[in-house]
Amino acid sequence: MNLKWRKNILNTTSQKISIFALGGVNEIGKNMYVLQSNDDIVVIDCGSKFPDESLLGIDLIIQDISYLQENQEKLRALIVTHGHEDHTGGIPYFLKQLNIPIYATNLTLGLIEIKLKEHGLLRSTKLFLIDSESELQFGTIRTTFFKTSHSIPDCLGIAFHTSQGTIVHTGDFKFDWTPVDRHGPDIHKMAALGENGVLLLLSESTNAERPGSTPSERLVGDHIEEAFRHAPRKVFISTFASNVHRIQQIVDASIKTNRKIALLGRSMVNVVAVAIDRGYLKVPEGMIIEANEVNSMDPEKVVILCTGSQGEPMAALSRLSSSNFRQVEVLPEDTVILAAGPIPGNERSISRIVDNLFQLGARVIYGSGSVTGLHVSGHACQEELKLMLTLMKPKYFVPIHGEYRMLHQHKLLAESVGVHSENIFIVSNGDVVDIENNEAIQTRSVDAGNVFVDGIGIGDVGEIILRDRKVLSEDGMLVIVTTISKSAGKIISGPDTISRGFIYGPESGELINEVNETVQATIHKMKDKNRNQRVLKQSIKKSVEQLLYSRTKRKPMILPIMIEV
Amino acid sequence: MNLKWRKNILNTTSQKISIFALGGVNEIGKNMYVLQSNDDIVVIDCGSKFPDESLLGIDLIIQDISYLQENQEKLRALIVTHGHEDHTGGIPYFLKQLNIPIYATNLTLGLIEIKLKEHGLLRSTKLFLIDSESELQFGTIRTTFFKTSHSIPDCLGIAFHTSQGTIVHTGDFKFDWTPVDRHGPDIHKMAALGENGVLLLLSESTNAERPGSTPSERLVGDHIEEAFRHAPRKVFISTFASNVHRIQQIVDASIKTNRKIALLGRSMVNVVAVAIDRGYLKVPEGMIIEANEVNSMDPEKVVILCTGSQGEPMAALSRLSSSNFRQVEVLPEDTVILAAGPIPGNERSISRIVDNLFQLGARVIYGSGSVTGLHVSGHACQEELKLMLTLMKPKYFVPIHGEYRMLHQHKLLAESVGVHSENIFIVSNGDVVDIENNEAIQTRSVDAGNVFVDGIGIGDVGEIILRDRKVLSEDGMLVIVTTISKSAGKIISGPDTISRGFIYGPESGELINEVNETVQATIHKMKDKNRNQRVLKQSIKKSVEQLLYSRTKRKPMILPIMIEV
The domain that contains A468 carries what CATH number? 3.10.20.580
Q: Can you give the CATH number for the domain in which A419 is found?
A: 3.60.15.10
Q: Mean pLDDT for chain B?
A: 93
* Whether B345 and B387 share a structural domain: no
Q: What pLDDT is attached to residue A405?
A: 96
* Closest Cα in chain A to B405: A355
pLDDT of B504 higher than 90: no
Angle at B391 between CA B388 and CA B397, to 5 degrees: 60
Partner B contacted by A368 (CB < 8 A):
no
* DSSP code for B319: H
* Whether B198 and B286 share a structural domain: no
User: Do A304 and A236 meet the contact criterion of CB atoms below 8 Å apart?
Assistant: yes
> How far is the C-alpha of A46 from the C-alpha of A451, rounded, in Å?
13
Higher per-residue confidence, A248 vs B525: A248
Please indicate, yes or no, if residue A7 is contained in any of the structural domains. no
Q: Can you give the CATH number for the domain in which B301 is found?
A: 3.40.50.10710
A454 CB neighbours in chain B (<8 A) are 475, 554
pLDDT of B480 higher than 80: yes
* Whether A33 and A182 share a structural domain: yes
Higher per-residue confidence, B505 vs B23: B23
CB burial of B266-298 (b: ≥16 within 10 Å; e: otherwise) equals ebbbbbbebbbebebbebeeeebbebeebeeee
Q: What pLDDT is attached to residue B12?
A: 46
pLDDT of A3 higher than 50: no
Strands B302-306 and B200-204: unpaired
- With CB atoms and an 8 Å threshold, state whether A57 touches B476: yes
Q: What pLDDT is attached to residue A70?
A: 97
> How far is the C-alpha of A285 from the C-alpha of B93, rounded, in Å?
64
Q: What pLDDT is attached to residue A5?
A: 45
SS3 annotation, A496-547: EEEEECCCCHHHCHHHHHHHHHHHHHHHHHHCCCCCCHHHHHHHHHHHHHHH
* Whether A248 and A339 share a structural domain: yes
User: Do B380 and B352 meet the contact criterion of CB atoms below 8 Å apart?
Assistant: no
User: Do B343 and B309 meet the contact criterion of CB atoms below 8 Å apart?
Assistant: no
Q: Mean pLDDT for chain A?
A: 93
Please indicate, yes or no, if residue A3 is contained in any of the structural domains. no
- Determine what percent of chain B is predicted with pLDDT higher than 70: 97
Average pLDDT value for residue range A396-413: 98
CA distance B111 to chain A (A): 25
Please indicate, yes or no, if residue B9 is contained in any of the structural domains. no
For residue B16, name the pLDDT band (cuts at 50, 70, 90). very high
* Whether A148 and A288 share a structural domain: no
> How far is the C-alpha of A79 from the C-alpha of A398, rounded, in Å?
19
pLDDT of A403 higher than 80: yes
- Choosing from B401, B429, B458, the residue where a domain stops is B458
- Choosing from A439, A458, A477, the residue where a domain stops is A458
ipTM of this predicted complex?
A: 0.88
- Minimum mean pLDDT range among A291-305, A332-346, A379-393, B528-542: B528-542
Q: What pLDDT is attached to residue B531?
A: 65
For residue B484, name the pLDDT band (cuts at 50, 70, 90). confident
* Whether B489 and B392 share a structural domain: no
Beta bridge partners of B301: none
Partner B contacted by A510 (CB < 8 A):
no
Beta bridge partners of B152: none
A191-195's contacts with Cβ under 8 Å and 24+ in sequence apart are A191/A391, A193/A146, A193/A159, A193/A166, A193/A168, A193/A391, A193/A392, A194/A390, A194/A391, A194/A392, A194/A393, A194/A394
Q: What pLDDT is attached to residue B233?
A: 97
Higher per-residue confidence, A457 vs B101: B101
Please indicate, yes or no, if residue A5 is contained in any of the structural domains. no
Average pLDDT value for residue range A129-133: 97
Partner B contacted by A285 (CB < 8 A):
no
pLDDT tens figures, A425-439: 999 999 999 999 989
pLDDT of B10 higher than 50: no
> How far is the C-alpha of A97 from the C-alpha of A68, rounded, in Å?
10
The amino acid occupying position A433 is V
By residue range, what is the domain housing residue B99?
14-212+378-458
pLDDT tens figures, B217-231: 999 999 999 999 999
pLDDT tens figures, B353-386: 999 999 999 999 998 877 889 999 999 999 999 9
- Choosing from A372, A390, A415, the residue where a domain stops is A372
How many C-beta atoms lie closer than 10 Å to residue B106's C-beta?
Answer: 16
* Whether B311 and B422 share a structural domain: no
Average pLDDT value for residue range B29-43: 96
pLDDT of B266 higher than 60: yes
For residue A8, name the pLDDT band (cuts at 50, 70, 90). very low
CA gyration radius, chain A: 29
* Whether B389 and B329 share a structural domain: no
Please indicate, yes or no, if residue A296 is contained in any of the structural domains. yes
Q: What pLDDT is attached to residue A182?
A: 84
pLDDT of B183 higher than 90: no
Q: What pLDDT is attached to residue A4?
A: 46
* Whether A35 and A133 share a structural domain: yes
- Determine what percent of chain A is predicted with pLDDT higher than 70: 97
B554 CB neighbours in chain A (<8 A) are 57, 454-457
**CA dist A223 to A179, A279, B83, Å?**
16, 25, 43
* DSSP code for A242: T
> How far is the C-alpha of A79 from the C-alpha of A81, rounded, in Å?
6
> How far is the C-alpha of B37 from the C-alpha of B163, rounded, in Å?
9
Work out how many domains chain B is built from and give that number: 3
Q: If you write DSSP's letter for every residue of B361-384 in order, what string do you get?
A: T-EEE-S-HHHHSS---SS--HHH
> How far is the C-alpha of A174 from the C-alpha of A149, rounded, in Å?
6
**Interface subset of A 48-67, CB within 8 angstroms of B:** 52-53, 56-57
To test the contact with chain A by mutation, choose from B427, B466, B472 the residue with the greatest count of A C-beta atoms within 10 A, namely B472
> How far is the C-alpha of B224 from the C-alpha of B237, rounded, in Å?
9
pLDDT of B128 higher than 70: yes
pLDDT of A372 higher than 90: no
A460 CB neighbours in chain B (<8 A) are 503-504, 507
> How far is the C-alpha of A197 from the C-alpha of A94, rounded, in Å?
34
Asked if omega into A153 is within 30° of 0 (cis), the reply is no
User: Catalytic residues of B, which ones?
Assistant: 204, 379
User: Do A565 and A481 meet the contact criterion of CB atoms below 8 Å apart?
Assistant: no
Q: Which stretch, A294-303, A524-533, B338-347, B506-515, has highest mean pLDDT?
A: A294-303
Please indicate, yes or no, if residue B368 is contained in any of the structural domains. yes
Cα B254 → chain centroid: 31
Strands B288-289 and B260-264: parallel
B472 CB neighbours in chain A (<8 A) are 469, 472-473, 476-477, 500-501
* Whether B248 and B341 share a structural domain: yes
**H/E run at residue B228:** helix B218-230
Query: Is-catalytic flag, A223?
Result: no
Question: Quick check: helix, strand or coil at residue A161?
Answer: strand
Q: What pLDDT is attached to residue B507?
A: 73
Task: Name the pTM for this structure.
Answer: 0.91
pLDDT of A159 higher than 50: yes
- With CB atoms and an 8 Å threshold, state whether B498 touches A344: no
For residue B14, name the pLDDT band (cuts at 50, 70, 90). low
Average pLDDT value for residue range B234-257: 97
Please indicate, yes or no, if residue A383 is contained in any of the structural domains. yes
* DSSP code for A133: T
- Listed in sequence order, the DSSP H helices in B257-346 are 266-277, 316-321
Partner B contacted by A370 (CB < 8 A):
no
pLDDT tens figures, A193-252: 999 999 999 999 999 999 999 999 999 999 999 999 999 999 999 999 999 999 999 999
User: Do A254 and A283 meet the contact criterion of CB atoms below 8 Å apart?
Assistant: no
* Whether A434 and A448 share a structural domain: yes
pLDDT of B149 higher than 60: yes
Partner B contacted by A563 (CB < 8 A):
yes
B470 CB neighbours in chain A (<8 A) are 473
* Whether B277 and B330 share a structural domain: yes
pLDDT tens figures, B423-447: 999 999 999 999 999 899 999 999 9
Please indicate, yes or no, if residue B55 is contained in any of the structural domains. yes
For residue A529, name the pLDDT band (cuts at 50, 70, 90). low
> How far is the C-alpha of A359 from the C-alpha of B313, rounded, in Å?
35
Average pLDDT value for residue range B70-88: 97
Burial class (CB in 10 A: 0-12, 13-18, 19+), B196: exposed
Average pLDDT value for residue range B73-94: 97
Beta bridge partners of A137: A142
Feature table: binding site of B: 57, 59, 82, 84, 86-87, 150, 172, 241-243, 375-379, 401, 454
Q: Write phi, then psi, for A241 (nearest 5 degrees).
A: -60, -30
